[in-house]
């Protein structure tokens, strides 16, 4: 158990819809990162939030957006869903941004049909 919880665990959406995924970070952790893991691939960095501010972004379009709340929980929002967005979305929390160990949640499986 890493103390990082994600919801929902599984969901199915239709192309063009919007989705919100949620993450509660480990207690005391102020940094949250989101990763996308397509089937058969390693996780790809989407973005990181530190103390409610975006602190870096990977190669994902603007329709991928996020939020971090004062309690350091986080949301990942994806608009205008495409079939290729089908993947496991992983949230990882860390104590802070300075290269500490990251702890992953179990992920949210998104299927876009």
Partner 1 sequence: TQLLEQSPQFLSIQEGENLTVYCNSSSVFSSLQWYRQEPGEGPVLLVTVVTGGEVKKLKRLTFQFGDARKDSSLHITAAQPGDTGLYLCAGEGGNQFYFGTGTSLTVIP
| Interaction between residue 53 and partner 1 (CB under 8 A) | no
| Interaction between residue 44 and partner 1 (CB under 8 A) | yes
Q: What are phi and psi of 84, to 5 degrees?
A: -70, -10
Task: Select from 33, 68, 74, 93 the one that contacts partner 1 (CB under 8 A).
Answer: 33
Q: Does residue 94 contact residue 9 with C-beta atoms inside 8 Å?
A: no
Residues in the chain: 113
Q: How is residue 91 written in tokens? A: 């949230």
Q: How far is the CB of 51 from partner 1 (least distance, A)?
A: 13
Number of neighbouring beta carbons within 10 Å of residue 109: 15
Binding site for partner 1 (CB under 8 A): 2, 4, 33, 35, 40-45, 48, 55-56, 58, 90, 92, 97, 99, 101-107, 109
């Amino acid at each position: 158990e890493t103390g990082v919880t994600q919801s929902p665990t599984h969901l199915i959406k239709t192309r063009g819809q919007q989705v919100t995924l949620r993450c509660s970070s480990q207690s005391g952790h102020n940094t949250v990162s989101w990763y996308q893991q397509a089937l058969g691939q390693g996780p790809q960095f989407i973005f990181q939030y530190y103390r409610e501010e975006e602190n870096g972004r990977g190669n994902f379009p603007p329709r991928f957006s996020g939020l971090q709340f004062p309690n350091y929980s986080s949301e990942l929002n994806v608009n205008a869903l495409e079939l290729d967005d089908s993947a496991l979305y992983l949230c990882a929390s860390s104590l802070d941004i300075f290269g500490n160990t990251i702890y992953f949640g179990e992920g949210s499986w998104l299927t876009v049909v």
